[in-house]
Amino acid sequence: MQLVLNRPLDMHVHLRQEEMLQNVTPFTAQQFAGAVCMPNTLPPVDSVERYDAYVAKIKAAAAPYEFDPYVPLFFHEGLTREELAPARERLFGVKLYPAGVTTNSEAGVAEMSKIEPVLDVLQDLDLPLLVHGETNGYSHDREREFMSVYDHFARTFPKLRITMEHITTVEAAEFLEKHDNVFATATLHHLLYTMDDMLGGPFNPFLFCKPIIKSPKDREAIQSLVIQGHPKLMFGSDSAPHTEVMKRTEGAAGCFTSPVLLPGLAQFFEDHDILDQLQSFVSDRALEIYGVNPPERSVVLERKEWTVPPRYGSVVPVNAGETMRWAVVDPEVESA
């Protein structure tokens, strides 16, 4: 049994830099025709010049796969119409990180009240705003507490497309109904797991991420959006690799899910008898919401068991050692 996905997209992934970029990009490029590649590198991708350089590096790392990297600029108060307008056609959007909430977000926004002039420019240029929506409050409440910020942005800039990235809570799921200009992405791991999978038994550092994986009720809210085929919810993995050493000794936050994404999604959609909706979740809605035009590629999944390796280079994937029911059929690998 095969499943053919046309132009699948991962609308939120961290491809990192240097050696890590080389190691992890093929997993994304193999399974997806395009991906929103996050700009929280060191230094961040916070200018058009750095944007062009990072896009080129990702494309090189993705070869021979035909793959479009959509890199949102790292939001900062210094972004100007003068810089953005001439590059508008090749830019994808802007990604806002509150300062200090996740990996390499130290350069993020400390005061939300000061950024409205930039949001005004984004709205004028029709550049979407992607947001890591967490406050600096108690970890379980960070996303819930951020809803008032989304609400303010959505009301003040009604023509600005705003995406709540990697939503994880009942409150975010409900908020999706509130404004026409607010969209969301959801990850595979927040769809499948609760905090108990990370720390209910022995601690599993490979499920430690920001936003933290939450309660059964929160998971149920995200699952419900996916199962009902919510038209404003797109797939974005938030796959965020760190080396095993960084995970184990530095407590780095991020789940490396890239190698298991389409197989894991196919499993979930099959378990809920909605395989026919997978195309919409992993591609159609993003095409419509963002108007992107990724390469005309199909990715084929086959219903065939395989075991996830214990590590890929220096990185341990989610589901390491587990058996998956769906496998990616890769013509590049077959012909190699």
Q: Which residues bind its own copies (CB under 8 A)?
A: 138-140, 194-196, 199-205, 208, 212, 215-216, 248-253
The least CB distance from residue 204 to its own copies, in Å, is 6
The least CB distance from residue 194 to its own copies, in Å, is 7
Helix axes 18-31, 48-62, angle to 10 degrees: 60
Asked if residue 72 lies in contact with residue 92, where contact means CB atoms within 8 angstroms, the answer is yes
d(Cα 46, Cα 84) in Å, to the nearest integer? 11
The least CB distance from residue 213 to its own copies, in Å, is 10
Q: Closer CB to its own copies, residue 295 or residue 309? A: 309
Q: Closer CB to its own copies, residue 110 or residue 333? A: 110
Residue 46 designated active-site: no
The least CB distance from residue 20 to its own copies, in Å, is 18
177's CB contacts (< 8 A; 6+ apart) are none
CB atoms within 10 A of CB 19: 11
* Residue of 238, 271, 273, 276 marked catalytic: 238
d(Cα 227, Cα 231) in Å, to the nearest integer? 11
Q: Closer CB to its own copies, residue 3 or residue 209? A: 209
Q: Closer CB to its own copies, residue 2 or residue 139? A: 139
Type of residue at 125 = L
Asked if residue 303 lies in contact with residue 326, where contact means CB atoms within 8 angstroms, the answer is yes
Type of residue at 107 = A
d(Cα 90, Cα 209) in Å, to the nearest integer? 31
The least CB distance from residue 260 to its own copies, in Å, is 20
Q: Closer CB to its own copies, residue 10 or residue 218? A: 218
d(Cα 90, Cα 96) in Å, to the nearest integer? 19
Helix (H) or strand (E) holding 2: strand 2-6
Q: Kindly write down the DSSP assignment for every residue of 164-186, as one continuous string.
A: E-S--SHHHHHHTTT-TTEEEEE
Residue positions annotated with a catalytic role: 238
